[in-house]
Amino acid sequence: MVKYPERLDRTFAALVDPTRRAMLARLEREGSASVSELARPFAIKLPAVMKHLDVRDGARLITRSKVGRTVTVRLSPGPMREAMDWLRRYERFWSASLDRLAAYAESKEAEMREKDR
What is the contact surface with its own copies in residues (CB under 8 A)?
Answer: 5-6, 8-9, 12-13, 15-18, 21, 24-25, 28, 75, 77, 80-81, 83-84, 86-94, 97
3-state secondary structure of 61: coil
- Cβ 105 to its own copies, closest distance in Å? 17
Closer residue to its own copies in complex, CB, 17/106? 17
Q: Report the candidate in 29, 35, 59 with the shortest Cα–Cα distance to residue 48.
A: 35
Closer residue to its own copies in complex, CB, 18/68? 18
Closer residue to its own copies in complex, CB, 91/114? 91
Are the C-beta atoms of residues 48 and 94 closer than 8 Å to each other? Answer: no
Q: Which is it for strands 32-34 and 70-75: parallel, antiparallel or unpaired?
A: antiparallel
- Cβ 59 to its own copies, closest distance in Å? 11
- Cβ 96 to its own copies, closest distance in Å? 9
Work out whether the CA dihedral 62, 38, 53, 33 comes out positive or negative: positive
